[in-house]
Structure 1
Amino acid sequence: MTDHETTIEDAKRQLRRELRGARAARGTGFAAERAAGIAASLQELVISLGARTISAYLSTPDEPDTRRFLAWAGEQRIRVLLPVIREDGLLDWAEHDGTETVESTLGMPEPTADALPPTALDEVDLMLIPATAIGRDGSRLGGGRGFFDKTMAAMADCPPVYAVVHDEELFDSVPHADYDQPVDGVVTQSGVTRIITRS
């Protein structure tokens, strides 16, 4: 790793620590209070794109809430694929059926439905992914394990990718390396911001 790459990784770790600390300090009530706004923004995005099959994720208590939106998606008969972490650090996918468990190693909620083949993700019209922070230039600070970066990089035809964060976690730019995949937009409780960084 070059000195430049090391500097970037150090900056990412520092900002990630600060923002995770801020989420923890605000408590779970903060995300709960904004759940309706997040759900409305996500609904607006899905309707505007006409998406009928999407990938999303089950939020943790201090993340922007995705569960109210997932309930709406189920009512609208929108097919939702949720990630399941594999032992090799990559992601499998399973359909959202309203059931979930907490993955023991990372503490991430996961669906309990049977895993689908990796090609299932090729059918989605929209990917919704978590983030610690997003830059208005499309840069994304993830959780540090690269699950979604690897997934996006491996897709031959990646659909629009939108990250979900709190308003306070949207910056002009965030530290990012060449292998960090950009997003096409960001969703907060205040609305949807389209960025379009990938061809």
Structure 2
Amino acid sequence: MPAEIDHAKRALRADLRERRALLSDQQRAAAEAGITARLDELIAARGARSVSCFLSTTTEPGTRAFIRAAVARGIRVLLPITRADGLLDWAVADGDDEVNIGLHGLPEPTGEILNPMALDEVDLLIVPAAAVDRSGMRMGWGRGYFDRTLGSMQKCPPVYAVVFDSEILDEVPRDVHDQPVTGAVTPLRTVVFPLS
């Protein structure tokens, strides 16, 4: 990665982390309710019966209420498990809140571990992001798990990044390995990007 792109990404990630840290518990709860409603609408509109999602951290837009509700409605939800080789394994969400702490201190599901190929059977991918830009380019947190996953899929279903409303930017720094997304889900709206 060219040094100027790496520096720009680091600076933007630091700014986004700082902004997320300033949100109140009330703002986080309202954001989670909004994310849950938008994701429910997206699944209904897409007719998705199987999705991937992620267990949100305390500073991310909340996905846990959505996961519990989706599982309760019979939607199959796959959750990522980080591997030392940079790939993701998956586990089927069971609706409870039991988690392990993964390689990078992130929450991960318990239960039977499925290999990376399990993702080939989902109708919709819901992924974390630091930010996305108006062309659909996603910027993650720098470990590359989701870029590798998306880049390796032969037939990738629609991909939606979950971000706060202020994290849809005019442009994000990008490198050759970065992967675009179909759209973004925020607490207030769902945006579909033109494919570039």
Please state which band the TM-score falls in when normalised by the shorter chain.
Answer: over 0.9
Give the distance between the partners of 1:105 and 1:29, measured in 2 at CA.
Answer: 30
Runs of 4+ in structure 1 deviating by more than 4 angstroms, as ranges, are none
Whichever residue aligns with residue 53 of structure 2, its letter is A
Give the secondary-structure state (helix, strand or coil) at the position aligned to 1:26: coil
Q: Which residue in the other structure is 2:73 paired with? A: 76
1:196: Cα distance to partner? 4.5
Whichever residue aligns with residue 70 of structure 1, its letter is I
For these two proteins, the number of residue pairs brought into alignment is: 195
Residues 99 and 113 of structure 1 are in contact (CA less than 8 Å); yes or no, is this contact kept in structure 2?
A: no
**What is the root-mean-square deviation of aligned Cα atoms in Å?**
1.4
Q: Deviations over 1:171-195 (max 9, x none)?
A: 1221111210000100001111011
Q: Which residue in the other structure is 1:134 paired with? A: 132
Residues 183 and 196 of structure 1 are in contact (CA less than 8 Å); yes or no, is this contact kept in structure 2?
A: no
In the alignment, which of 57, 82, 86 is matched to residue 89 of structure 1? 86
Residues 43 and 69 of structure 1 are in contact (CA less than 8 Å); yes or no, is this contact kept in structure 2?
A: yes
Q: Which residue in the other structure is 2:106 paired with? A: 108
Q: Which residue in the other structure is 1:159 paired with? A: 157
Residues 102 and 108 of structure 2 are in contact (CA less than 8 Å); yes or no, is this contact kept in structure 1?
A: no
What's the TM-score, normalizing by structure 1? 0.93
Mind listing any 5+ residue stretches in structure 1 that lack a counterpart?
Answer: none
Instruction: Using the aligned pairs only, state the percent identity.
Output: 49
CA spacing shift, 1:116–1:104, aligned 2, 3 Å: closer
CA spacing shift, 1:160–1:28, aligned 2, 3 Å: same
Q: Deviations over 1:10-47 (max 9, x none)?
A: 10110000100111122444322221111111111111
Which has the higher mean CA deviation after the structures are superposed, 37-46 or 91-100?
A: 91-100
Mind listing any 5+ residue stretches in structure 2 that lack a counterpart?
Answer: none
1:99: Cα distance to partner? 4.4
Give the distance between the partners of 1:182 and 1:76, measured in 2 at CA.
Answer: 29
In the alignment, which of 184, 188, 191 is matched to residue 190 of structure 1? 188
What's the TM-score, normalizing by structure 2? 0.94
Q: Which residue in the other structure is 2:120 paired with? A: 122
Give the distance between the partners of 1:104 and 1:69, measured in 2 at CA.
Answer: 21
Give the distance between the partners of 1:177 and 1:21, measured in 2 at CA.
Answer: 23
1:8: Cα distance to partner? 1.1
1:142: Cα distance to partner? 0.3
Give the secondary-structure state (helix, strand or coil) at the position aligned to 2:143: coil
Whichever residue aligns with residue 183 of structure 1, its letter is V
1:120: Cα distance to partner? 1.1
